[in-house]
Chain A
Amino acid sequence: MFKHLFKLIWNKKKQNSLLITEMLISFMVMFAVFTLIVNYYRNYNTPMGFTYNHVWAVNYDDHQQFKNTDSLTLYYETLRKTIKSMPQIVEVSFAGGNIPFSDNTNSTGFTYKGHQISRINNYKVGAGYKDVFDMNVLEGRWFNSGDKAAAHRPVVINETLKNELFGNGRALGQIIGDRDKEKGKLQIIGVVQDMKDKGDYYKAGRAIFNPIDTGAFRYIGQMVIKVTPNADAAFESRLYKTLTNYMKTASVEIVHLPSMRQDVNKSTVIPMVILLTVAGFLIINVALGLFGVLWYNINKRKGEIGLRRAIGASGNAVSGQIVAESLVLASLSLIVGAFFAVQFPLLHVFDLAAGVYITAIILAIVFIYLLVLVCSLYPGRQAAAIYPAVALHEE
């Protein structure tokens, strides 16, 4: 039966070549769309790893000049204490520019046992950072004041990086080499749960947390503050006054993390909606086209179908044949399409998990089959309704 169908299609390969190309390109489009959707969906389903509901960020751009590092540290330490003493403030921490939901990324790399590991998100954090975001420490501990005396610079890493480096082994106390040789070695003192800090649709990636050292205040321009739920706009304007009165030479901006999260998610969702609209339009276009061409082909084959009916084929058998032929056509293009699509997980294009690609391939195949099935059902029914007498008479 299938051999017969293939033979039928093969004999008309020239007429069908355009249909096959069309299905092939539709498959590739759907593959791309599903890859994105599956990837975003998987990321969306992983836990956030931190809280941000009552967190504010302060961006300041201070131009104060200091004679030495001690007065610099003292200046900012006094500021921190002033803010901390306000009643609505739960915790304060200075931070590098890449605070959660900002569009700022700072990455680093280091060597471990001769392996070069790169693209690690590098966070500069103060001691209070953990409590501002309610981060979960899975192993070891967060930074404390005793760390300044340590022989190696202490760092905290996240779960992803730990699994990549040590698997199930022990991460605590391990020494890793900094890329910058002069700065010496780093010692892991804690492992924290992954923080999905680039938005709901992006996974956490590798991360390493470095404590802010005294000289860092020269270029750091961010503070993260956890406030109590009753902190309102009136309090915010009071906080603002306090900040600008203290940092006379700075421009200050207060932003709320929930609204930053919305913005960052929007920058993922809006292009996605545009893409889906365009893809949806292309698919409607293709569906209408397939439908039209199949329908026309049935009309052209009236004679052949009439003959089959005359020698005893049932209506269902005829419509079944039409549908099966279309599905064989689809299979031909899907085989070619799948061959190209499989290269993505094999060659590790775009650094996505293989599972994402494979799910996307399966979804795209199912989608194209459904599309072709839907488009061929009506022409098939029409073919079944052909009366042998009428059809043969026309001939």
Chain B
Amino acid sequence: MLKNYFKIAIAVLRRRKFFTFISLFGISFTLTILMVATAFINNLVSPGYPDTKRDRSLYITLIEFTSNKGWLNRSGSSYYFLTHYAGTLKTAEKIGIASRAHSSNAYVNNKKLVIDIKYTNQAYWDIAEFQFTEGKPYNQAQINQAQRVAVISERTKLDYFGDVPTVVGKYIEADNIQYRVIGVVKSVPVSSEVFYGNMYLPYTVSKSDYRDHGYQGPYSAILLAPTVADVPKMRNEYQQMVPKIPIPDKDFDHIYSNADTYFGGQVRQLAGSGSKSGMGVFIAGAGLLTLLFLLLPTINLVNINITRIMERSSEIGVRKAFGASSKTLVYQFIVENIILTAIGGLIGVILSILVLHFINSLALIKDLTLSLNLTVLFYSLLACLFFGLLSGVYPAWRMSRLNVVTALKAQ
């Protein structure tokens, strides 16, 4: 039966080539745009280099003070706050701490370089699985002695030293201070806030005083749970602890600090505040936007499908006259429409690969590579199916209500 529908569908598609072109154009381009957007979001949600343990990690990126008078103060946390409070969590296996990347200049042969410096602790290197092309990260002893050692990214290596085989042991100058290079890692895109940097240094050599007992500062933390199952427990433990933290400033009466998933943290920065995670607002907003975007192509497709189906009224009339039920006919037309969207989807996948390739080659965000992986493909398939059903159901229903006599007479 399905094989038959398939044959009919192909025959119909080949009859009115112009309509087929319009339908396929609409479907494939809509899906291309959706797939490219999904690839972006997927890049935010799923684990990637160097953050491969994302599914058992939680991130503390913000600390927020509010007062009933309406004041609000939002920033990163201080090193003291993160070690003193987040550091007491029993569930967490490791706590990686890193500062925000801070821009600094270096001058090589009268050429200016911008170097984004990140200060980290030792656990940071255990949690993030950086790929070292040479050398290794600094160890606890080097941190304790506040040695001026640096791990640099491949990009910095190329910009600063040029195309040389090895740079470990050489010196790099930033802020007029010499640091000894002990490792080179594969570069991270700037969109990956917690991990992006051109030069990584021990927190003990940072110029700001990491011993300062204020709560606010440039640092954020990554909490690593022993297993994925422990993540909710770790989050609960942190959530219960935060309200007990004494508030240092009399002007404020609430303190908010959250251990979020990676995506949750990003959403909170965009849409959240205080105790609200912003996730609902974000999903509603993104969903509404997608629906609005889908609306035009869908209505267009419905229009074309109706036209197409009405053209086949004689066929419908004959089938009805020979006893086909409305249900069978609706089923047939929906299957046909899904076949059409599947073909459109296939073209869409090819187009998306081309578009993503183009976006990657443009390098809008340095070191960011977007790709179509299985997850993105799965969601696209889902979108395809939804799209096919959405644009197929109404015309099929209209068609099934067609009177046999009128349908036959139309011929």
Contact = CB atoms under 8 A, between A and B. Distances in A.
Interface of A: 18-19, 21-22, 25-26, 29, 59, 61, 63, 232-234, 236-237, 240-241, 244-245, 249-254, 270, 278, 281-282, 284-286, 288-289, 292-293, 296, 300
Given A240-B176, A251-B207, A289-B304, 18 more contacts: A19-B303, A22-B296, A233-B111, A234-B110, A237-B110, A244-B175, A245-B176, A252-B105, A254-B112, A284-B25, A285-B22, A285-B30, A285-B296, A286-B296, A288-B300, A289-B301, A292-B304, A293-B307
Nearest to A249: B207
| 6 closest cross-chain pairs (CB), A and B | A244-B176, A237-B107, A289-B300, A233-B110, A288-B22, A296-B307
A253 B105 contact: yes
Contact of A289 (B30, B103, B303, B310): B303
A250 to B, nearest CB: 7
17 contacts: A18-B299, A18-B303, A29-B296, A63-B208, A233-B107, A237-B110, A244-B175, A244-B176, A245-B176, A250-B175, A251-B102, A251-B104, A252-B104, A285-B26, A285-B29, A285-B297, A292-B307
Contacts of A245: 176
Contacts of B304: 289, 292-293
B33 to A, nearest CB: 6
Nearest to B108: A237
A278 B302 CA distance: 20
A273 to B, nearest CB: 11
Given A251-B207, A253-B104, A293-B304, A25 B299 contact: yes
Given A18-B302, A25-B295, A25-B299, A289 B105 contact: no
Interface of B: 18-19, 21-22, 25-26, 29-30, 33, 102-105, 107, 110-112, 114, 117, 175-176, 207-209, 293, 295-297, 299-304, 306-307, 310-311, 364
Contacts of B296: 22, 25-26, 29, 282, 285-286
A232 B107 CA distance: 12
B278 to A, nearest CB: 20
Interface centre among A21, A29, A236, A251 (most CB of B within 10 A): A251
A325 to B, nearest CB: 16
A391 to B, nearest CB: 16
A63 B26 CA distance: 58
B29 A21 contact: no
A22 B303 CA distance: 9
Contacts of A281: 29, 33
Contacts of B102: 61, 251
Contacts of B297: 282, 285
Contacts of A292: 18-19, 22, 304, 307
A253 B111 CA distance: 14
A319 B207 CA distance: 79
A388 B324 CA distance: 38
B107 A236 contact: yes
Contacts of A25: 295-296, 299
Contacts of A244: 175-176
